[in-house]
Structure 1
């Protein structure tokens, strides 16, 4: 630990707080029950709870009350920073997962929120992870590590200033994070609006002039639409040592398809009459729930496909392949609605062929593609910056916490009672109070 600021001292967590103190309440008292899933990972999020009678939860679970700090001791919840300041419980009492540690400040001179900042800090999380014991998947931070962990202790008055400043700064971080988190949805709507403007002709209205010359047609009239097959899995000669890419609908989620996860042999291509599609062929997923059905990718390799894909080969004397791709991407939601069937609705080739398209001149198609690519590139650049900003925000919280424990977050006041005096007082109070009695409290329903 580096040199301490004036008025600060060093102490172990066990000198400042009681770890998992015992407590007693009337069985009928309404209490807050906190499973691990209800514990937040961010500094300022509130602890969620369900209401239960104290008698139902007092024995098998970790006990705590308002004013305590709880944090996970088991992997991966510990490393994820699941921890909270306990506040607002029914009757001020609660219990939760047996995988929680509880810290109860031993006196008013120790700030619970300062302790929360400590257990959220990078150094504490790293040290706890390095000292975990137990089997893989069930590793836990030992009680000894927590109690003996050395802490820089500010004067009590400075702890109050620190926690107030933390609330202020981390509230700003949360606001910034919320705004950044909202940008991907905005970019998604931006891209969809660009696609809609493109296929309607509005994107190039000024470029084109007043009069539009659109030919309303269908995909089937400007493209060859077919599908593939799945060679019998039991026929080893169709699959072993195959070198022909065989594409499934799972690979339609990207703009381009440059590789395959599975390969078939030349014998499979011949026996199963599989079609080999050229680079530039568009593949649309016809099956699948979630996001898959309706997705479109473009082959960058020569490949065949299974029956879950519609292979769309554009006649480029009639339409630009990239313009057709724009229309299929823009029509994604409508395409999905055309699926038929029971538990797993699917598209079929006829449905794909019937997709309508308004074709402008070849020159305008070229201009539309150019403008869409230009605007999408801008959106991609913004998306990259958003990812970088998210990473910076994640590190920003830890940077603020690091300043806290170096004494750099607020100014020191020479009139503050030194932390050494506080620690001596705590030591004397503890010596006068049996360990079994610390933190105990009996409550009755209000």
Structure 2
């Protein structure tokens, strides 16, 4: 099984072209004239009133000085006997064949000391030698690539495992004694037991939600020379939002149902291809209607830390997406978001500590992913380099 790139196949030179020889000698054309050129090692050596090859083909010097040199012969031309013809078949591009042979190292096939010769029978299998080299190299590269891809998949599993553990710290270690000592942490309505001083809350209990709007595009006064950031759902990046592409004016803020959100606000995309994407604002901005913002409740003593909630939503994103398919694309409603249950430490400092631990873990995972992806790119470039070397006769 070959490890060449998809769409490539193994062929010998004999498979893709036909070799033939000429019986013309210089003395045969010395006194001839005509419109059709005859080529020798140094170029055109005369003109005659006949031709051997009606179509373009290749000429290769097989005897004497310049042995192994290849060039393209024009239509209706011939060569003398120290050269051979190489004609491509219908599946091979002549110029491709020319560039391959032009850079082929023929020195290993040269015979004779006084007058060097090369024979088609010797170099016609050359592509097989190159393919064997490529095949061996690509097999090793492909094994390394498979290992890197497995490592990347393992990192994704590790990330999900770390998230699951963070929001279910008791995990499978919970026993009946611990449950009895902390009866308030678990009931028939709760997904799983929680540590002491944690409790189950819906997102609607701990936060207000709000979506944005798109000011009318045909109102120039809403967009021209705008100074207020306006964020689209496609700009959410599962990280901090530092840059926003578009801006609206004060007029748009006054006369449209857009809301100015403070730095530090947590956001989630609700519709379409970006549904479930998250972001935390590093700039004050407004948003479009496809973004839901989580806002603190003024009268609620139970507070949430944005990065803690960010990681919780990240941990259940696949569930959110699967629950939200009403059509071709997911559509997450604010009512659904408010109904989601979250395991919440009552002490916001504990939320901050958990988020800080997850920050550190995910930063290490991110760096490993960057390393593995860079190595994958290096292997792809190595393949291309090997192909270039093969094509230029350096293998």
Report what 2:353 is aligned to: 367
* Deviation per residue, 1:28-81 (Å, 9 max, x gap): xxxxxxxxxxxxxx972487xxxxxxxxxxxxxxxxxxxxxxxxxxxxxxxxxx
Question: Which residue number corresponds to residue 103 of structure 2?
Answer: 150
**Distance in 2 of aligned mates of 1:342 and 1:403:** 51
Conservation of the 8 A alpha-carbon contact between 2:222 and 2:251:
yes
Question: Hey, what does 1:234 align to over in structure 2?
Answer: 218
**Residues 299, 320 of structure 1: alpha-carbon distance in 2 compared, 3 angstrom cutoff:** same
Q: 1:182 aligns with which of 125, 130, 150?
A: 150
Find the structure with the greater CA-based Rg.
Answer: 2
- Alpha-carbon distance between aligned partners in 2 of 1:223 and 1:165, rounded to the nearest angstrom: 63
Q: How does 1:276-315 map to 2 (within 5 A)?
A: 276-289=260-273, 292-314=274-296
Q: Is the 8 A contact 1:228 1:307 kept in 2?
A: yes
1:221 counterpart residue number? 205
Deviation at 1:298, TM superposition (A): 0.9
User: Does structure 1 residue 256 correspond to structure 2 residue 240?
Assistant: yes
Which residue of the partner structure matches residue 327 of structure 1?
Answer: 312
Tell me the CA shift for residue 86 of structure 1: 5.6
Question: Using the alignment, how far apart are the partners of 1:44 and 1:219 within structure 2?
Answer: 52
Distance 1:230 1:166, change over 3 A: closer
Report the Cα offset of residue 327 of structure 1. 0.7
Q: CA deviation at 1:314?
A: 4.1
- Contact 2:203-2:337 within 8 A present in 1 as well: yes
Report the Cα distance in structure 1 between the residues aligned to 2:245 and 2:3, rounded to whole angstroms: 44
How many residues align structurally? 282
CA deviation vs aligned residue, 1:374-416 (integer Å, no higher than 9, x gap):
211111111111122113212333555577689986xxxxxxx
**Separation in structure 1 between the aligned mates of residue 385 and residue 9 of structure 2, nearest angstrom:** 19
TM score, norm. by length of structure 1:
0.55
Residue 23 of structure 1: aligned partner: none
Unmatched 5+ stretches in structure 2: 20-91, 110-121, 183-194
Question: Are the structure 2 counterparts of residues 226 and 163 from structure 1 closer, same or farther at C-alpha, using a change threshold of 3 Å?
Answer: closer
Alignment of 1:48-127 (within 5 A): 83-85=8-10, 104=16, 106=18
Matches of 1:342 and 1:166 in 2, distance apart? 48
Shift of 1:171: 1.1
The yes-or-no answer on 1:318 pairing with 2:307 is: no
1:384 and 2:352 matched: no
Partner Cα distance (1:166, 1:343) in 2: 44
Following superposition, the deviation at residue 180 of structure 1 comes to: 1.7
Q: Report the CA distance between 1:197 and its aligned residue.
A: 1.3
8 Å CA contact 2:10, 2:131 repeated in 1: no
Aligned-residue CA RMSD (Å): 3.5
Deviation at 1:183, TM superposition (A): 2.9
- The reply to whether residue 352 of structure 1 matches residue 337 of structure 2 is yes
Structure 1 pair 405–324 and aligned structure 2 pair: CA distance change class (3 A):
closer
Q: Could you tell me whether the CA contact under 8 Å between 2:237 and 2:279 is conserved in 1?
A: yes
Greater length-normalized contact order (CA 8 Å, ≥ 6 residues apart): 1
